[in-house]
Amino acid sequence: MSTQLEQLFDKLWPINRSLTGDGNRASLKLLSETVDIEIKEVASGTQCYDWTVPAEWNIKEAWIKNGKGEKIVDFSINNLHILGYSIPYKGKVSYQELISHLYTLPQQPTLIPYRTSYYEKRWGFCLTQIAFDQLDPNDIYEVFIDSSLNENGSMTIGEAYIKGDSDEEILFSTYICHPSLAVNELSGPLVSSLIYQKIKQRPKNKYSYRFLFIPETIGSIYSLTQYGNFWKEKLVAGFVVTCVGHNAPFTYKKSRRGDSFVDRAAELVLMQDWEETQILDFFPGGSDERQYCSPGFNLPVGSLMRTMYGQYPEYHTSGDNKSLICFKTMEKTVEVYLEILQLIEANKKYVNKFPNGEPQLGKRGLYPTVSTPKKKNSQINAMMWLLNYSDGTNDLLSIIKKSNLHSSSILEALEVLTNAGILE
């Protein structure tokens, strides 16, 4: 499996992605090999609430040559060298003019920054501070950018859908607009594709599952125009899948609601099994969760990450590359996503049909017939919690939390009691 993930990573890595363009199409096509993705085109100019789908951007070649004709910055070497959405340009410029178009990281002189200018027309290059410092102020530079901005183009997005017993759905949203960045973002589509496969394999799903592979911000805002009102009624839980590349403790960022199923299930699973887990209250920064959780929708969408955006020094630089990624950890992350889903799917307000005193478990073979020694085993304990609190007002997640027992014990006891006709 990690081999599969790594191979997919290696294929996706060199492709130049952005809000729009052929790189996105190629990436979605590659992902289609494992996920049954429907690829959609949204025309440039499409209005999405307060936003407009931008012109489609493509780029073939871009470089800067010094006076000696040597290429000193070259997009063909690293996608990050070009300012995203740079307009076409060809010409000779002085040092002074050139540097007004250059972006560096003075504090991290060996790294190329990742920068874009989606919504204002300009051109620019990103380079290391070291390379910048070698520029000769007296030289004249030749700049060439063979890009295009097509107002009649489109934004390309991918969707996959697994139909469940109910049309209530669970959303996985991940983004595909960052070129050659590993943790943020390739880890997101990779983990999402693996979750897709696991769910697809299950014989039966209670809820339907929707996977979105979209550019950040404009992609999720567009999706809200399509599904936002439906989701207000039908979205059980959602995740923005991003920053799941590090071999590092989990960070879970809650939805704006703070107590939706996804928040409570994620907190339970992480707190019971994972030390050093960080549980963060919602804050209106970060990624697409701030669109899904905008006040007009306020959807139950959280984000389960390893090391979060902005919390590692290589974030949004050329340092965010394969060397940061642990493919084995991604698989473990997928397991945790599935554990959380299991709780969300099982969550309900069960009712104990024998609410007056406790039901006699012994006569049903569910309780030892010789009185037990001091410590009850945890399954009897789990049954007692379920029986006492299943009064139609407490849902499963709240009983697990109250009991301080492992969710797996409660799920087992739930099955036993449901099969015995005691809980319903």
- Applying CB under 8 A, the span of 12-20, 47-55, 180-188, 270-278 interacting with its own copies comes to 47-55
CA 137, distance to chain mean position in Å, is 44
For its own copies, the binding residues in 131-190 under the rule CB under 8 A are: none
DSSP 11-38: HHTTS---SSSHHHHHHHHHHTTTS-PE
Task: Considering the complex, state which of residue 126 and residue 199 has its C-beta at the smaller distance from its own copies.
Answer: 126
Q: Is 406 in the site for its own copies (CB under 8 A)?
A: no
Q: Is 290 in the site for its own copies (CB under 8 A)?
A: yes
CB of 194 to its own copies, least distance (A): 28
H or E segment to which residue 126 belongs? strand 125-126
User: What's the N-to-C CA distance of the chain in angstroms?
Assistant: 39
Q: Is 202 in the site for its own copies (CB under 8 A)?
A: no
Cβ-contact 163, 90 below 8 angstroms: no
Q: Is 124 in the site for its own copies (CB under 8 A)?
A: yes
Rounded distance between C-alpha atoms, residue 123 and residue 129, angstroms: 19
For tokens 């063979």, what's the residue?
146
The binder of its own copies chosen from 122, 163, 328, 332 (CB under 8 A): 122
For its own copies, the binding residues in 361-400 under the rule CB under 8 A are: 362-363, 369-371, 373-376, 381, 384-385, 387-391
Task: Considering the complex, state which of residue 50 and residue 70 has its C-beta at the smaller distance from its own copies.
Answer: 50
Rounded distance between C-alpha atoms, residue 346 and residue 411, angstroms: 8
CB of 77 to its own copies, least distance (A): 21
Cβ-contact 173, 288 below 8 angstroms: yes
The binder of its own copies chosen from 158, 179, 215, 228 (CB under 8 A): 228
Task: Considering the complex, state which of residue 105 and residue 334 has its C-beta at the smaller distance from its own copies.
Answer: 105
CB of 404 to its own copies, least distance (A): 9
Q: How many chain residues bind its own copies (CB under 8 A)?
A: 64
H or E segment to which residue 113 belongs? none
Q: Is 293 in the site for its own copies (CB under 8 A)?
A: yes
Task: Considering the complex, state which of residue 120 and residue 275 has its C-beta at the smaller distance from its own copies.
Answer: 120
Rounded distance between C-alpha atoms, residue 199 and residue 186, angstroms: 20
Q: Is 257 in the site for its own copies (CB under 8 A)?
A: no
Please, what's the b/e burial string for 202-239 (b: 16 or more CB within 10 A of its CB; e: otherwise)? Answer: eeebebbbbbbbbbbbbbbbbbbeebbeebeeebbbbb
* Helix, strand or coil, per DSSP, at residue 60: strand
CB of 360 to its own copies, least distance (A): 5
Closest Cα to residue 187, out of 57, 337, 64?
Answer: 337
Rounded distance between C-alpha atoms, residue 126 and residue 124, angstroms: 7
CB of 69 to its own copies, least distance (A): 29
Q: Is 109 in the site for its own copies (CB under 8 A)?
A: no
Rounded distance between C-alpha atoms, residue 182 and residue 244, angstroms: 10
Helix pair angle (407-419, 378-389), 10° resolution:
70
The binder of its own copies chosen from 32, 297, 331, 412 (CB under 8 A): 297
Please name the amino acid found at residue 93. Answer: V
Q: Is 231 in the site for its own copies (CB under 8 A)?
A: no
CB of 138 to its own copies, least distance (A): 27
Positions in the binding site for its own copies (CB under 8 A): 48-51, 83-84, 103, 105, 113-120, 122, 124, 220-221, 224-225, 228, 256, 283-285, 290-291, 293-298, 310, 315-316, 352, 354-360, 362-363, 369-371, 373-376, 381, 384-385, 387-391, 403
